[in-house]
Each structure stands twice: as structure tokens, then as C-alpha cells.
Structure 1
Amino acid sequence: MDISWAHTGTSVIASFLASLVECVEALTVVLAVGSVRGWRSALIGCATAIAVLLVIIAALGTVLTHIPLRIIQLVVGTLLLLFGLRWLRKAILRSAGLIPLHDEQAAFAKNTELMRYFGTGHTTWDKIAFAATFHITMLEGTEVVFIVIAIGAGRTGALLPASLGAVAALLVVIALGFILHRPLARVPENTFKFIVGVLLSAFGTFWVGEGMHLAWPAADWSILALIASYLAIALLMVPLCRSRSQAVTSNT
């Protein structure tokens, strides 16, 4: 089955934005570790984790070709829907002011202080720097791998657009990290998470429907309708959550 522009475009955008958020969070830790303990071991740890993640993507992509497509769509769609709704719920609560926004500057300061607690890295090979950057890159990268596989697994040939979106996000963050040498605090992370939550929820719903043999009106173009529906509901939930929170506060 050919992939439409509606599917390809949304796949690239969803993968790019989701990967961008995760890469920004990983970059904050890598910058903190490198600035305190030195860049050599920190960058090697980060690069090693990226290599491992690429191997995982290649291996999973091969395995998925041996599983019936309908099963993949149903299982992956369910997981993607749950994952997207979790992102969207947190983004709504942040937009409503019920939970604090993620602060990259504060995260950078916290990780810098932690690295200083272990001392500064003066040796050629710093195990702490390597372990710290490897761990954070694997942690954030695992979510990227899941999103790429989940978005790309539902259609033959869809894994490439999803992978390109993730790679583009990685290259953008790496370039900005080298140029700025400081956390990307001005990136509207919650806005990205809001959009990604909407996109992933829409993709998850679409794949669940495909796995259950539902005939979507207008085929892949139904993804755009699902995106619009989730976005409208989420935007309505923000003032509703804010007003309910204010009502509870006033009553107490």
C-alpha cells in the first residue's frame, strides 16, 4: 500500500518534534557533564549510546517484517495511543498551570552541581562522564526509538520517513549544542510536547482502527481529522482544568 502525503508528512513532523524534545533534554545533561568533567569522555559516551540505539532500530525493523501487519498495527497503535495520551495529559496540566513547566536552566544547574560533587575529570578517560552521558542518551533515546518504530511500523516503507524526522532533530540539536554551548532554555518544550501528544494520540487511534479492520473515511487523510479532533479537545481541556483548579483553591 502506498503511503500518502498526509501520512508521510505527519510521520516526519511527529517524529521530528518528539525526537527534538528528547534530544534537548539529553543535551542539557551532556553539556553539564562536559563543562565540569571534560568533553572527551562525555561525547564518547553520548556517541556510543547513539550507535547502540541505531543498532536497536535496525534490529527491530528487521524483526517487524516477520510479524503480520494487522497485529503490529493493533499492538503498536495501542501503545502509541497510551504514550501520546500521557504526553498530552502532562502538557495540558502544564498549560493550565497545575504542574510546573520543565526548566532546562534549572536542570543544567542541578546536573552541574551533581558532577562537581564527584569532582572534576582530569584524566584522559573519565568513567563518570562516560556513564552519565551514555545513560541519559540511552534513556531519552529509547523513547525516540519507540516513537520512530511505532510511527513507522504501521505501513510498509513508513519507517524511513519517521527515521528521517528523528535524525533531523538529532542533527539540529547537535548543531545548536556546538554553536551555543548552553542549554536550549528558550525552546518551547511544553508546546512541542502538546503538539507531539496530539500527533501520537492521532496516530495511535488510526493504527488501532487499522488493526481492527476499520475502514477509515478518506483513508490516510483521516489522520488529519483525528489530529484536529484531539487538538480541539486538548485546547478545551486547558481552561477547564485551570478553572476547576481555581475553584478548588477558592473553596479551600
Structure 2
Amino acid sequence: MSSAALFAAVFLACLVEAVEALTIVLAAGTARDWRSAITGVLAGLAILAGAVAILGTALTELPLDGLRLVVGGLLLVFGLQWLRKAILRAGGCKPLRDEQAAFETTSAAARAAGAPDHRGLVRDWYAFTLAFKGVTLEGLEVVFIALTFGSAQRDISLAAIAALAASMLVVVAGFLIRAPLARVPENAMKFAVGVMLTAFGLFWGAEGAGAHWPGGEVALLVIVPGVALYALALVAWLRGAGPTIQSAREGSQHD
């Protein structure tokens, strides 16, 4: 896997997570209190820094075969979850992700949460908690992606740079427009990331288990399109079976 491919893979995956974290932070700040939201962001970043220090050290100490087996298994679990949701969305069985709608829903819940609870250094604990959870949960996925790809290729520093670049791009864009990045093709990006994580999980997991792919890393040029074509075939099937599935659901509800 070339340095350019590693950077692109981590950058794309982390970009999606950063967009979702931005939506949550914007809702916490605009609907409640910006100072408390930013404090929550900083607290979340401190937790993520600790996770990077602990997990990064642990992964780099594993032998390469064992590392790729662990990384491959984790990427498969993670990637298949992303891909399943992306297939359901593209197939019409699950609503598409809409950052503007997510922002409005989260903001409405924040405004309805009652008066600010001022304790200690935090003026509004609801805004703090909302921003903290958003940054921590989405950030842990960024950390996971960067560390797994970086450790498998023995280049954590490049993966970290890609993750930081994606996060900073989203932060700067959000600061400039002060609104959710609704125009980002997030659903298509999630589909692509799901394919990518699943393909690399298959590749590294098999290598870690002792298998040898024909052509080495060149095999990824077959695995990635193969996973993508299979996912697209499932999307086509779901779209064709959509009316039947919907009718079955409605019938079960009436029963």
C-alpha cells in the first residue's frame, strides 16, 4: 500500500467522522452555550490523546503477522457495520444521512433541555456533555481508523497526519460557514469507506492468518472492486425488493 493510498484512505474515512462531530458541536454551541461546548470539545480531545498514546504503543509492539490479523479482524467488524448501513440507505431501507436535519433535531433537543446548569467551571453542563460525547465518540472512530491503517503499514505518523488534515479541514470549513456541512456527499463517502474498510480487513486479516495473496498488495485492485460490486448488487436487489419488503412490514404491523 503506497503512502498516497494510505493517506487518502485515512483522510476520507476521518473526514466523514469529523463532519458528524462538527454537526453535534455546532448544535451544542448555537442552541446552548459556546463556551461550554468548546470546553467539552477540549475535554474530548484530551481523552482521544490518551487513547492514541495507549493504543498506539500497544499496536506497534505486536509482530507484523499478529498485528495484521488483529487489524484485519477489527476492520472487518467496523467496515461491515459501515457497509451494512450504507447499503440499507442506498437501497431505500434506511433514511439517508442528512446533516442539516441532524443539526436541527439535536438543536431542538438541546433547546428543550431546560435552563443551564452552572456548576464549577462549566456554565452549561448539557452543552458540555453534548459536545464532549460527540467529539469523543466520533473521535474514537477517527483514532481507530488512523491507528489500524497506520500500524498495519508501519507508518502511524502519516496516518495521523491524514486524520489531522481531515479534521482541520472540517473545523476550518465549519468555522467559515458556521453551519453543518450539508453539501458534503456524506452518504456516498460512507459507502466508499465501508467498501474500503471491508476490503482492507479481508486483505490484512488473511495475511495475518498466513495466507498469501497472488501479487501481494496488487490483489487489492481486485478485492476492492469485488467488494464494491457485491455491495452495489445488494443495493440493486434491495431497490427491486423494496415494495415487497415494505408490504411485508406493513402486514406484520397490522397483525
Q: Which residue of 2 aligns with 1:171?
A: 168
Q: Which of the residues 76, 88, 95 maps onto 2:90?
A: 95
| Alignment map for 1:104-115 (pairs within 5 Å) | 104-115=99-110
- Determine the structure 1 residue equivalent to 2:32: 37
- 1:155 and 2:150 matched: no
Tell me whether 71-80 or 188-197 shows the greater mean CA deviation.
71-80
Counterpart residue number, 1:138: 136
TM normalised by structure 2 equals 0.89
Deviation by residue 1:125-180 (Cα, 9 ceiling, x = unmatched): 322222211111101111111111221222322x2222222111100110111011
Tell me what 1:244 maps to.
241
2: distance between equivalents of 1:93 and 1:110? 22
Question: How do 1:25-64 and structure 2 match up within 5 A?
Answer: 25-64=20-59
Which residue is 2:192 aligned to? 195
CA pair 125-237 structure 1, distance change in 2 beyond 3 A = same
Question: Cα offset for 1:119?
Answer: 3.8
Which residue in 1 is equivalent to 2:66?
71
Letter in 1 for 2:109: L
1:248: Cα distance to partner? 4.2
Percent of paired sites with the same residue:
45
CA distance in 2, matches of 1:225, 1:52: 38
Is the CA contact (8 Å cut-off) linking 2:117 and 2:125 kept in structure 1?
Answer: no
Does the alignment pair 1:83 with 2:78? Answer: yes
Query: Counterpart of 2:79 in structure 1: which amino acid?
Result: G
Higher mean C-alpha deviation, range 124-133 or range 21-30: 124-133
- Cα displacement string for residues 86-127 of structure 1 (whole angstroms, at most 9, x for unaligned residues): 111111111111111112122111211222123465967322
- Please say if residues 91 and 190 of structure 1, whose CA atoms lie closer than 8 Å, have aligned partners that are also in contact: yes
Partner of 2:205: 208
Distance 2:85 2:229 in 1: 16
Aligned-pair Cα RMSD in Å: 2.0
Identify unmatched segments of 5+ residues in structure 1. Answer: none
2:6 aligns with 11
- The amino acid of 1:83's aligned partner reads F
Which of residues 126, 129, 134 is equivalent to 1:128? Answer: 126
1:212-223 alignment, distance < 5 Å: 212-223=209-220
1:184-225 Cα shifts (integer Å, max 9, x gaps)? 112111101000001101110111121012222222222232
TM-score by length of structure 1 reads 0.90
| Equivalent pair of 2:116/2:125 in contact (CA under 8 Å) | no
The one-letter amino acid of 1:228's match is P
